Amino acid sequence: MARALQAAEDAAANGEVPVGAVVVVEGKAVACAHNRREKACDPTAHAELIAIREAGAELGRWRLDGATIYTTLEPCPMCAGAMIAARVGRVVFGARDPKAGACGSVVDLFIPGQFNHRPAVVGDVMAEACGMILRAFFEERRNNAKALVSSAQKSRLGTVKRKQSLWDMALHGVRRDGRVRLKASDSKSDVGVTPPGVQIPLSPL
């Protein structure tokens, strides 16, 4: 699980939701992957699915019976289905996923007698560390989004203030260089500072 957690950290460093998975056969890690949904533009690029594919390629067979898959997050229905299809022997997961977990949180695809294969399941392994990296990732993403919104609001406020300032100058006949703009009625006594007439915009904003 520690190695899967390391893969999850790699995912976070690459801007991906931090989930990692490792497939172990006879004590040897034959595949290790992290979530790549963003980079691959692929909704199916979950860590577990990639690790299962890589394990099949590494072993030269699609049946992964005897294999244990370690994943930092409770598998979703898609990945749980792939584990059944691959005849994975055992599934070990970390944090539970109350929104998409298919090992009991939302549904349980591994209930005995449902499908033609049922892996053994062990949950809540290093759950605190596996959940912490997800919480930290989403908290940072929320803070970044807030900072962006705040920056955009400040920028818009600045634009409004500049427009308001121009509007005030137009109303009070003050030019940007600080000189007083003469009214049309004063044009006879004008010394050529500016053409008469003030163009007032229809709206200040």
**Residues making contact with Zn ion (CB under 5 A):** 46, 76, 78-79
Residue 101 or 182: the one with the smaller Cβ distance to Zn ion is: 101
Crossing angle between the packed helical segments 47-59 and 2-13, to the nearest 10 degrees: 120
Of residues 9, 26, 38, 48, which has the active-site annotation? 48
Contact predicate 12/56, CB 8 Å: no
CB of 28 to Zn ion, least distance (A): 24
> Burial of 128 by CB count in 10 Å (0-12 exposed, 13-18 middle, 19+ buried)?
exposed
Distance from C-alpha of 1 to C-alpha of 27, rounded to nearest angstrom: 13
CB 53, min distance to Zn ion, A: 13
48 is catalytic: yes
Q: Residue 49 or 182: which CB sits closer to Zn ion? A: 49
SS3 for 131? helix
Tokens 């560390």 locate to 129
Q: Judged by CB, which is closer to Zn ion: 35, or 126?
A: 35
Provide the minimum distance between the beta carbon of 44 and Zn ion in the complex, in angstroms, as a whole number.
8
How does 4-17 read in b/e, with b if 16+ C-beta sit within 10 Å? Answer: bbebbebbbeeebb
Of the pair 81, 173, the CB lying nearest Zn ion is at: 81
Picking from 83, 54, 71, 67, the residue whose alpha carbon sits closest to that of residue 8 is: 71
Write a three-state SS string for 40-61: HCCCCCCHHHHHHHHHHHHHCC
Shortest separation between residue 12's beta carbon and Zn ion, angstroms = 17
Q: What amino acid positions are annotated as catalytic residues? A: 48
